[in-house]
Amino acid sequence: MARTQLWSPQQHRAKRLNDTFGVFTYDGDTPSDARKAIRERGHIVLSNPDMLHTGILPHHTKWMRLFENLRYIVLDELHTYRGVFGSHLANILRRLRRIAKFYGSDPQFICCSATIANPGELASQLIEKKVEVVEENGAPAGEKLFVFYNPPMVNRNLGIRRSYINEATRVAKRSLAGSCRRLCSQIADCTPKSY
């Protein structure tokens, strides 16, 4: 996961749990004096394949507490782990699973991707286990209403209608004035253009 993904979970969880729950980033930018503290107090450690390969797995005895309690491994942006990089990551994950097993844990993999056609196939190849693909979005969402509006005719004989931009503006202003919470966006001009 990226360093930018750390701020929100760390900020909210640390406040709720009185700083007893450690969420840290362990990557090449992590100061050397902070690394020991992360090993000792990290409950969630965000890292990357390179740091896992060079900074964590070769020094697994220093990470014994983490490996003994390792329950989840999250691979975000799964679609980026293809080709040579994916092959490299598969070997790192193989080593990671072997070391976790040595310390008595069998972590569950959670793989995330929104932009790949075959997430189950790729995830299975990377972690060398069968996976269950969750494709349905269970997040709550408000009711959606789609309205197709055809501007009124100005001249029926010539087939000329009112300006779609002016009509969209008028409808949006009317909706907003009536306290309707609607997403008002400009209607795209679908008429063919000549260049």
* 76 plus 121 within the same structural domain: yes
pLDDT at residue 190 greater than cutoff 50: no
User: Domain of 11: which CATH number?
Assistant: 3.40.50.300
Q: For residue 81, how many other CB atoms are within 10 A of its CB?
A: 22
* 15 plus 106 within the same structural domain: yes
Mean pLDDT of 112-131: 91
What pLDDT does residue 75 have?
A: 94
Closest residue by Cα to residue 130 from 108, 113, 112: 108
Q: Using CA atoms, how far apart are residues 20 and 131, in angstroms rounded to an integer? A: 33
Residue 53 DSSP code = I
- Residue 180 or residue 49, greater confidence: 49
Q: Using CA atoms, how far apart are residues 191 and 150, in angstroms rounded to an integer? A: 13
What pLDDT does residue 178 have?
A: 67
**Residue 195 located in a structural domain:** no
Contact indicator for 160, 153 with CB cutoff of 8 Å: yes
* 122 plus 76 within the same structural domain: yes
* 103 plus 149 within the same structural domain: no
* 29 plus 97 within the same structural domain: yes
What pLDDT does residue 179 have?
A: 58
What pLDDT does residue 146 have?
A: 76
Q: Using CA atoms, how far apart are residues 24 and 32, in angstroms rounded to an integer? A: 13
* 75 plus 162 within the same structural domain: no
* 123 plus 149 within the same structural domain: no
* 8 plus 94 within the same structural domain: yes
Q: How confident is the model at residue 76 (pLDDT cuts 50, 70, 90)?
A: very high
- For the stretch 10-49, pLDDT in tens is 555 445 544 567 899 999 999 988 999 999 888 999 999 9
| Residue 78 structural domain | 3-127
* 120 plus 168 within the same structural domain: no
What pLDDT does residue 68 have?
A: 95
Task: Enumerate the H helices of the chain as residue ranges.
Answer: 7-16, 32-41, 49-51, 64-68, 83-102, 119-127, 164-177
Closest residue by Cα to residue 93 from 57, 55, 133: 57
Strands 72-75 and 42-46: unpaired
